[in-house]
Amino acid sequence: MTCRQLVLASTSPFRRDLLNRLGISFNTANPQTDESPLPGEFPEYTALRLSEAKARAVAHLFPDALIIGSDQVAILDGQVYGKPGTHDNAVRQLQTMRGKTVNFYTGLCLLDAKTGAAQTRGIPTLVTFRNLTDEEIENYLRREQPYNCAGAAKSEGLGIAIIARMQGDDPNALIGLPLIALCDLLREAGFSVL
């Protein structure tokens, strides 16, 4: 196993905190990537494409590193719900999602900047929202302000109270960085986590 430099292509404090759980040394870099979906693009492909685009956006800064990129979209009835950005958008998203099951699809990429080879994985997490009242939605948004979270759902905080159940292979995927899949990708790249 080699000890390569590891870089997280993200400014998300949530992804940084998740990666810190592994107890390994890493750097972070801002990928400054346009997160708009392409016309006609399937949402799952958007998440995978953007996870790789984020990793590639910082590769020139770390030419010998293994670079982690991640992106998430929320999908309900074929409609994509990204980061709401504003309170009003978040209200609309949660009103639409209440009482329904949403697929929070997380794209993960591990890029070997030295070779240009990228490994990607897509990790779905099905989240069923409680049938929230408008007052509950307002209370949640006022207290949590999850305007930078896909679907306005911040499960690592108060958002857990708006969720009825979750189904997925990795609880960390919903927060934005699927650590189980990442450990697999790092192992395949020869990077020792343990």
Specify if 1 maps to a domain. no
Domain containing 152: what range?
6-188
**DSSP secondary structure letters along 21-46:** TTT---EE-------PPPTT--HHHH
**Structure confidence at residue 2 (pLDDT):** 55
Specify if 20 maps to a domain. yes
Which pTM value belongs to this model?
0.92
**Structure confidence at residue 156 (pLDDT):** 86
Q: Is 71 an annotated catalytic residue?
A: yes
Cβ neighbours of residue 170 closer than 8 Å, sequence gap 6 or more:
123, 125, 178, 179, 180, 181
Specify if 175 maps to a domain. yes
- Given 17, 71, 77, 112, the catalytic residue: 71
Specify if 194 maps to a domain. no
Give, in order, the Cα–Cα distances in Å from 127 to each of 15, 92, 119, 153.
Answer: 19, 17, 26, 10
The count of domains in the chain is: 1
CATH code, 90: 3.90.950.10
**Structure confidence at residue 37 (pLDDT):** 87
Mean pLDDT by 10 residues, the chain (194 residues): 85 93 96 91 94 98 97 92 93 97 97 98 97 97 93 89 96 94 96 90
Specify the DSSP element, H or E, that contains 67.
strand 66-76
